[in-house]
Chains A and B, each alone.
Chain A
Amino acid sequence: MIELSLGQAIDRAIENAMSEDESIVLIGEDVPMLRAPLYARFGVERVMGAPISESAFIGAAVGAAMEGLRPIVELYMVDFLAVAFDAVLNHMAKLEAFSGGEWHCPVLIRAPSGGGYGDGGQHAQSLWGMLSAIPGLTTIIPSTPMDAYGLTRTALRHSGPVILFEPKLLSEEWLEFLGRLGREDLEFDVPENASGMVNEDEFAPFGRAVTRREGGDVTILSLAVGVHRALAAAEALASDNIQCEVIDLRCLSPLDRESIRRSVAKTGRMVVVDEDYRNYGLSGELAATVLEAGLHPTFVRVCVEGTIPYNHRLEKDTLPSVKRIIEAVKEICQS
């Protein structure tokens, strides 16, 4: 067991996988520098700096995966996936279905996501809702270093394309690189316990949610930073005698619908905490998941509405906060 940040845990998973599997190559802008230890260890043939040509290098990753490599593509931020959306939507996600299951596309896209450090609305989005809507893609969103490690390890043995969302607010490396930049006394609203212990032998399965806290009154469904916010809210609510069950979804496609239904059937109240956009996304999908099972819980969602503002305080208010979660929970407990 070693203590790592979420970002370090992903690095470690990649390093271990690369040392076991020669077919893995790492592609991305600045990776020789950003992943200097991997670059130094695996060399220029396997850790390849790419020009700012996302549509070309993600498209190329698809072709390379079809012909026997296992590319890991790093993006600076998931927001920039927009530039290469065709490779994702029409190629890597479709290949297996189009070829009648004959051809596979083992590409892992590592995409830092989310805001919280005042970089403005083109650098703060989560986008897992819209990406998880695409058939043929697996989407993993760890909230702990252990899950980050375990899910990445599983992704690097998986036969199909996976998008790994790396919540920037949970990776001190990204916060330092993008927000702090040497300004040591700058404070970010980083959840406690963002670092954690990692067991390098443990893989995490896709499509399995984890209950982070048990409770009988309300089910809070969340992921990434939202899980930490929800746990803090649950702790505060416990002193008001409201017992929250906090479920960390971890993986949106495939989604662990069974665990969601089981908890909501028990509590009859459902709160979704999601750093992604509210409309046409994850929170609606979760509502449908319980409705389709014949459940009719009271329902409220704490999501992002509108474009994320640059102003740090407004940004904080736009992203799901502990305060908003507490209000939402109290609201449905009263109704």
Chain B
Amino acid sequence: MELVNIYRNMSRSREFELAVAELWEQGLITGEMHASTGEELVAAAVTACLTAEDSLSLTHRCSSFVVARGVPLVPVIKELLGREDGLCHGRGGHMHLFSRDYRIATSGIVGASLPTGAGFALAAKRLRPHALAVAQIGDGALNQGMALETLNLATVWKLPLLVVCIDNGWAITTSSESLTAGSLPERARSFGWLVGNADGADIEDVSQAAKALVKNVRAGKGPAFLYARCPRMDGHYLGDALVRLARHPVSDGRDTLTKVVGGAFSQGGSGLISRATGLTRMMGAIGKIRHTPAHGDDKDPLVITRKRLSKQGYDVAKIDLEAQEEIRCAVAVSLGEEHD
């Protein structure tokens, strides 16, 4: 039952992201819309362990957490549309979603989710015994000073903080491993944190890890760190040029490539070897994107989970249909369209 509920939220999140992508494509959502496709399982499994007293400090890639937390979707969608009756009256937008009722805050400043989360945890410790705070963070963001500082702060203050680090391998166009020393779970471990290391496509793995860590944090044993690897299925944001370049090299790529090749062969500048390294790195990034699971293929965490639960006899198709219907209605209501 528990796993099914997690799957239900995965499915809802995925449908939500697909609907958002459509609205974005139509130009109804402005700016950088960061889809969380590929991360749905982690968000669903973590929020499944939370109570209404717990709070969440989220990043720019927050949709799955917001959906799984159960925030009413119409105000959320209206916020993305910039409506006056949106969650934040159209003032915040997709990177700045706030809900007092659901104890959710987000930030577009990379790394900032950790200090805010530590503050949530501090308030919980003083005001709501047994409550905890979750702070979501990306792999790239764990190189931010304030994030690293928070690892120490939360330790010495013994805060009820669960950091959920989603490693999608990327920070915009940079492959994270190229600029991250050591290992992220080891960083947390070196501060004495309890660390869970999970495969973001494995529902049992993620759910067990989340439960164990939350139990520990709730018991007052100090902060914990859930590290989960997930694919970044829709690029850094909707419309990501690198994804377009990787998927449609001819139509979208020619311009970029001409510029690069032009740069590589112009006069002056570095030696040939150095220049060749530059080109090779770029091609490497594009290659990496080509190997990222696409929607609906065998490595899509949603597909993996669907198959697994279906084998266990659950009616996942029904759950998917319900999710589709829910999101379709929410979008229609948000757009002010008639709904049957």
- Measured CB to CB, the residues of A under 8 A from B are 18-19, 29-30, 32-34, 36-47, 49-56, 79-80, 82-83, 117-123, 176-183, 185-186, 307, 309-314
Q: Is the Cβ of A49 less than 8 Å from the Cβ of B174? A: yes
Residue of B nearest to A46 (CB): B270
Q: Is the Cβ of A52 less than 8 Å from the Cβ of B141? A: yes
Q: B residues within 8 A CB of A123?
A: 31-32, 95, 108
Q: Which of A36, A179, A185, A314 has a CB less than 8 Å from the CB of B260?
A: A36
Nearest CB of B to A69, in Å: 15
Is B5 an interface residue when CB atoms closer than 8 A count as contact? no
Q: Is the Cβ of A38 less than 8 Å from the Cβ of B263? A: yes
Nearest CB of A to B86, in Å: 8
Q: Is the Cβ of B27 less than 8 Å from the Cβ of A185? A: yes
Residue interface mask B84-118, A partner, CB < 8 A = 1:
10001011111110000000000111110000000
Q: Which has the most chain B C-beta neighbours within 10 Å: A36, A83, A117?
A: A36
Nearest CB of A to B338, in Å: 24
Q: Which of B31, B92, B140, B282 has a CB less than 8 Å from the CB of A52?
A: B140
Q: How far is the CA of A310 from the CA of B82 in the complex (A)?
A: 6
Q: Is the Cβ of A41 less than 8 Å from the Cβ of B263? A: yes
Q: Is the Cβ of A181 less than 8 Å from the Cβ of B107? A: no
Q: How far is the CA of A177 from the CA of B289 in the complex (A)?
A: 18
Q: How far is the CA of A110 from the CA of B180 in the complex (A)?
A: 24
Known: A33-B173, A41-B266, A51-B180. A177 touches B93 (CB 8 A): no
Which of B65-73, B143-151, B155-163 interfaces with chain A? B143-151
Q: B residues within 8 A CB of A36?
A: 256, 259-260, 263, 278, 282
Q: B residues within 8 A CB of A122?
A: 95-96, 107-109
Is B52 an interface residue when CB atoms closer than 8 A count as contact? no
Known: A37-B262, A181-B241. A49 touches B90 (CB 8 A): no
Known: A33-B174, A182-B244. A49 touches B285 (CB 8 A): no
Q: Is the Cβ of B110 less than 8 Å from the Cβ of A37? A: no
Is B183 an interface residue when CB atoms closer than 8 A count as contact? no
Known: A29-B171, A55-B145. A39 touches B282 (CB 8 A): yes
Q: Which has the most chain B C-beta neighbours within 10 Å: A54, A176, A185?
A: A54
Q: A residues within 8 A CB of B240?
A: 181
Q: Which of A43, A83, A307 has a CB less than 8 Å from the CB of B91?
A: A307
Q: B residues within 8 A CB of A47?
A: 278
Residue of A nearest to B25 (CB): A183
Q: Is the Cβ of A117 less than 8 Å from the Cβ of B31? A: yes
Q: Which of A49, A51, A183, A310 has a CB less than 8 Å from the CB of B27?
A: A183
Nearest CB of A to B269, in Å: 4
